[in-house]
Chain A
């Protein structure tokens, strides 16, 4: 020890003359731009998916109803409420928010005397910091908590598929399905929108767990036609999928197909383990073996009812078989779903025409209840000059005849009027037949609606074009040119708009902008109508009808006649999944009626 060691520490006194380093006003110190301070939520953008709630490790978030936010498709109507007694400001909720609506501002001082105030709803409870731009947002640079990209489904190339009706969408492999299933955040937003309220997150989870038997059981809880829906469902669920807000929505339909495809039909009975051997002694008649009829029969059979389906056509499926081309929905897949329903003891009587072969009133007497799901099988006409020619057809008729194996007229040049999925179905079917017959395709589809508002699924339009069909939207049909009794083509004029300000159908045309589609055959596909000729005049008087001419039903699809339930396309839709949902609900309604 020396004297230096005693004196040197005193050099610290030099600090006495230095400026202090203390922050004078610590309450107004601006935090860093990335600071994780208090929550803000863009209430308009948030969809109440609850993913923030799911990831919060402190259970600081609760989804609650909020004034002014309505529940609707794709929005639960709830918004996250945060409890600052639990929150640790980790911002995991921000990093996973499916819509990017949630963020943390860099505000960090909040003094309050009431502890309950620290539970608040960001974006709703008024707070001074909402206007602040700075704060934590989801980082970029490759940072994401779930993949935004959909796993592509493999398809046959146009050249491989155009000369046959072979199914062209290949289906997911195990690896692909599990990868796609991994993207789901299990929010259930899709379930609410699905007309049948299928347990989507649950069956997607079963895929992740590689428990496809459980997956099948989940499917059959709400949908007895999974092979079919896994292929051709209009997938309204995908339109609202929360992952779709910031990337591609989950491929829900293909995942459903994956589960159904992977479970062999022979094992269905064992997997689903449904016992229908005990009858409750009551009988229900079902008119039409379409989706709604099959669904009603399935759920009624599970409840112990003896069900008999009366089908006019030689095979089951209704529009699914006679309206949807085989390349989209192969017949063996329809059979797989239908056969399982038959295994439960449901009987189908083919070739029976209700109204002519058996009167509806008679069914009402012979059975305890009747469900009618007769579908939309009649074509609608544009009624333009020339439609009475023999070579002007309805799409629905042609599609049915193709399935029935009839030899239909396929000329070298065809034009289809219509822009919906049925129009695309007939265009692509006829294109295939042309390719088979002539080795080339010359089939044009033209619709009133312009490309952006065409009702057909986008992929249908794209695939039709891949298959060399021409889709030329935005034209209003004027007349069919006939020469010597033969169709020569279709005259159209430019369509400027389809709907008026009130969204009512009121097309406007530019009469000077004309076009001529040369063709030997014209197919009309502008919508389908129902055939209610099986209802006698006296019977019709007992029923009630809506303004649009549909039979009036209650929430259980019960009509004005107590024993008659009506569902499917003639009530709602048109699509398969509404039919399935209607059938299920009607089964419950029938059970309520007969078991009360």
Chain B
């Protein structure tokens, strides 16, 4: 097939998928291999991390991920600040979907101080709205972005434009475009502006069109199919072994979704069923995310229809400057665009957290799973695989 398509027969070592296993002996002194560093500064790496590749021809024989270029000590910074001062820092742990981290800090402190049930209903719906909007803007970048890794740039431009429209909605709801700082202990920081729903609906209609267009562009595209199908296959037996979550797990048939398995906020009141696929390759993962795009648009519509018109946005809580939380610990989690994220939060009775630790999906996906997936892959596919695993270095290093 490839011969027909290219019009010549490539040499064997130019072909992807030589049979390489993690145990393949590599003798560097044989001069048959070469080491290449990809990153830490490389436009194809979504953030600052590096992959040390040992290649033979185009084939990756061995891959080692290196992190540590982006360490800002966020967890420690938060541990040295008052509870209320934590959320502006927490959002920097994940640029793509900062809202999840705002939610963790709020939810964990509420749980540990006994205010979990006091959060007003209206505020909880607004939290859900902002979390789904965050997922939507992430998908608007992520789905066409996968095409981008195969040099399909046009979809990215469409997606970025539509994402900007969602950021416009974020801007009017939360007062900021990227770092929203909206979900705060006790509730949220603003009500729904007048006319918001209508403007959101306009944007969602544009996104409906985009969904159709991007389907044609990517999923009816011979190049995309050729390169994405069968690439970097995750098999169901890997899921538990590597701690794989989210769309990466769902794309190989393992249906994991915190929103369903352990509903938080009012997700049990929404009607949705997370899509799954069986192939577990880059194509399947992208396909699942495209379906999630449809589902997220629907969820936002459901939330806007079901939420109360108005109400209190924050419950009465202690003075934020004097707030102390009794000794305790909790693990809060949610389904982010990249899968289950969680935060382990420990308090010791003082006015600052004793320890916080973020459980981010990228830590597993982009360090251990990636190393595994790259063996035997073609050098040109590294970025595609990284993006398909939703690698987010800032979230690995906090």
Contact = CB atoms under 8 A, between A and B. Distances in A.
Contact of B120 (A58, A142, A186): A142
Interface in A186-229: 186, 205, 208
A88 B220 CA distance: 44
A104 B122 CA distance: 25
Contacts of B84: 55, 92, 145
Contacts of A185: 319, 321
A182 B216 contact: no
A88 B88 contact: yes
B322 A89 contact: no
Interface string B1-20: 10000000000000000000
Interface in A256-302: none
Chain B at the A interface: SS class: loop
A36 B226 CA distance: 46
A90 B321 contact: no
| Interface-central residue, B152, B175, B187, B320, by most chain A CB under 10 Å | B175
B221 A1 contact: no
Contact of B319 (A35, A140, A146): A146
B53 to A, nearest CB: 29
Contact of B168 (A32, A88, A90): A32
Contacts of A208: 322
Given A55-B320, A145-B320, A185-B321, A8 B221 contact: yes
Contacts of A57: 81-82, 85-86, 88-89
A12 B217 contact: yes
Contacts of B176: 35-36, 89
Contacts of B168: 32
A134 B122 CA distance: 24
Chain A at the B interface: SS class: loop
B316 interface: yes
Nearest to B206: A21
B189 interface: yes
Given A146-B319, A146-B320, A5 B221 contact: yes
Given A55-B84, A95-B189, A142 B221 contact: no
A36 B89 CA distance: 16
Contacts of A92: 84-85, 88
A141 B321 contact: no
Contacts of A89: 176
Interface stretch (B43-51, B231-239, B307-315): B307-315
B85 A141 contact: no
Interface in A82-122: 88-92, 95-96, 104
Interface of B: 1, 81-82, 84-89, 120, 122, 152, 154, 161, 168, 171-176, 179, 181, 187, 189-191, 193, 213, 216-217, 220-222, 225-226, 310-316, 318-322
A47 interface: no
Contacts of A104: 175
Given A142-B315, A145-B319, A208-B322, A8 B85 contact: no
A208 B321 CA distance: 12
A143 B322 contact: no
Nearest to A204: B322
A51 B313 CA distance: 23
B181 A90 contact: yes
A5 B319 contact: no
Interface string A303-329: 000000000000000000000000000
Given A91-B175, A143-B189, A4 B313 contact: no
Contacts, number: 127
B186 to A, nearest CB: 8
Given A139-B191, A142-B312, A5 B217 contact: no
Given A11-B216, A11-B217, 17 more contacts: A1-B1, A5-B220, A8-B220, A11-B213, A12-B216, A55-B85, A57-B86, A90-B87, A96-B320, A104-B175, A139-B191, A140-B191, A141-B122, A141-B191, A142-B313, A184-B322, A185-B319
A186 B222 contact: no
Interface string A8-39: 11011001000001000000000111111000
Contacts of A181: 322
A54 interface: yes
Given A55-B84, A142-B120, A143-B187, A12 B154 contact: yes
A217 B314 CA distance: 38
Contacts of A145: 84, 319-321
Interface string A74-88: 000000000000001
B321 A54 contact: yes
| Interface-central residue, B85, B179, B313, B322, by most chain A CB under 10 Å | B322
Nearest to A8: B220
A400 to B, nearest CB: 44
A501 to B, nearest CB: 44
| Interface-central residue, A34, A51, A136, by most chain B CB under 10 Å | A34
Nearest to B86: A57
A479 interface: no
Contacts of A95: 189
A35 B171 contact: yes
B189 A1 contact: no
Nearest to A142: B312
Nearest to B179: A88
A136 B312 contact: no
Nearest to A22: B161
A363 to B, nearest CB: 50
A33 B122 CA distance: 21
Contacts of B222: 1, 5-6
A183 interface: yes
10 contacts: A5-B220, A5-B221, A8-B216, A33-B172, A34-B193, A96-B320, A142-B120, A142-B315, A145-B321, A184-B322
Nearest to B191: A141
A183 B319 contact: yes
A147 interface: yes
Contacts of B314: 139, 141-144
The 10 nearest A-B residue pairs measured at CB: A57-B85, A142-B312, A146-B319, A8-B220, A32-B172, A5-B222, A90-B88, A141-B313, A36-B175, A32-B171
A159 B5 CA distance: 102
A33 B88 contact: no
Contacts of A12: 154, 213, 216-217
Contacts of B122: 141
